[in-house]
Each structure stands twice: as C-alpha cells, then as structure tokens.
Amino acid sequence: MAPERKFFVGGNWKMNGNKKEIDGIIAFLTAGPLDPNTELVCGVPSCYLDYCRQQLPATIGVAAQNCYKVAKGAFTGEISPAMIKDVGVGWVILGHSERRNVFGESDNLIGEKVNHALSEGLKVIPCIGEKLEERESGKTEEVVFSQLKAIVDKIPQDKWDDIVIAYEPVWAIGTGKTASPQQAQEVHGKLRQWLSDNVNAEVARKTRIIYGGSVTAENCRELAKEADIDGSLVGGASLKPDFIHIVNANQ
C-alpha cells in the first residue's frame, strides 16, 4: 500500500445482530486497541444505524449497507442518503454482490445510487467483483471494468476523496475460498491502471481499493502487504473479537 493512501477496513455486518449482540461488538471495538493509522467503518443494518452511531466511538465510522437514488418518495422499504445523514451516519456501501445477485440491482442503478449518495454528502464504498464462472472463463477484467465504468461515469471529479472501491470476487464471499494475495493484487493493480487510463493518474494514485472475500485474522496481513491492496471489506469475521487483528493488519 502506498503511504499516501490511509489503510481502510470496513466491517459489513450484513443482516446480522440484535441489540445484545451489537453491544458485544461495540464493547470489543471500544476496548481495541485499534491501529490509529487505520480508518475503520462498520456497515450496520438500517434499523441500528442511529443506535450504533450513538454508541460507537467517534473515531469509528458507521455505514448504511444500501440506499436509494432519490431523497424521498413512494419507495416502500428503501432509505435515502438524507435519512442516513440525519442520524449522523457518514457512509454507505453500494453495489455489494448480494445486492446485485440476490436483489437484481443493475450496474446502471448502482451508478445512479452512487451519484445521488455523493451529491447528498455521503462517502461511498462501491463494490465490484466477478462470479466464479466469469473468472473461470477468463472474463474477470471484462466484468469488473464494466461494473467500475458504470460507477465512475457517475462520480463528479471533485468527489473522488469520498470514494473507497471494494473489489470482492463473488466466489470468495462467505465460501471460505479467498483469492490469494497475488490473485487479489493482480486485479487491484489492473483496476488502478484502469482508473489512470480512464479518469486520471492522480485519482488512480490516491483512491483506496480494498479487498473483500473471506478475509480473516489469518490471511489479512499477507493481503495487506500487497502494493495495491489498501485494506479490506470484511463480512462475518467483523462480528467476532478477532476482527481487531484484521483492523490492525497493517501494523
């Protein structure tokens, strides 16, 4: 990782946790110790956003796991960036593979969501990644570049400081299969080169690209050593005390 890019760890709780369990997570995160040189953000179920923002230390960011592309209206079941900001939360995860593949969100919709969230002042973790059959048929670059373009086309030039890109190969999420550090670095390097070619060299140099997909306390340090891996987006492991080791993987 380049020194100018601050190490970033996102804990995506997904649809997990109740108040008692969340109090336990808050307790181990508060106790730490956490590397002060790592930016930590927790992705929280929407009904607990307000509670977590009030209970977590101010040094730990909170993210919604999804939001819609407009400020308000007749969109039952959705939340807007304005609502997320109203409860003091500053981040949102968008385009996670579960949103794409379970709920059928298109590249275009995700791009529109990213654009609206940025315009409302949220920071965004947009997610991209290929399925197993796409990797095995040699389509990894085609898929992730297409997903990235749909997002990048909607990012205003002055909003790049509010973006952390997450590369999550779908075949490695929750499966116990992890891309090797070399496999992950290869894709991260190509993503950074794509940004240089299609946005500009400064954006490519400064934008953090984090890896997600069965990140654990055991493999996090090897991943963190790679030049273009600037942190991780962690699922189930973020619910357990060992998550502290992942946060501190760059020490």
Residue 36 CA to residue 251 CA, distance in Å, equals 10
- Is residue 227 within 8 A of residue 179, CB to CB? The reply is no
Residue 105 annotated as catalytic? no
- Tokens 């930590």 -> residue: 40
Which residue of the set 96, 98, 105, 116 is catalytic?
96
Helices (H) and strands (E) in the chain, counts: 11, 8
Which residues share a beta bridge with 61?
41
- Is residue 179 within 8 A of residue 220, CB to CB? The reply is no
Residue 96 annotated as catalytic? yes
Residue 126 CA to residue 113 CA, distance in Å, equals 10
Residue 168 CA to residue 179 CA, distance in Å, equals 9
**Distance from the Cα of residue 145 to its chain's centroid:** 17
Which residue of the set 98, 134, 168, 188 is catalytic?
168
Residue 160 CA to residue 48 CA, distance in Å, equals 28
Residue 138 CA to residue 187 CA, distance in Å, equals 12
Tell me which residues are annotated as active site: 96, 168
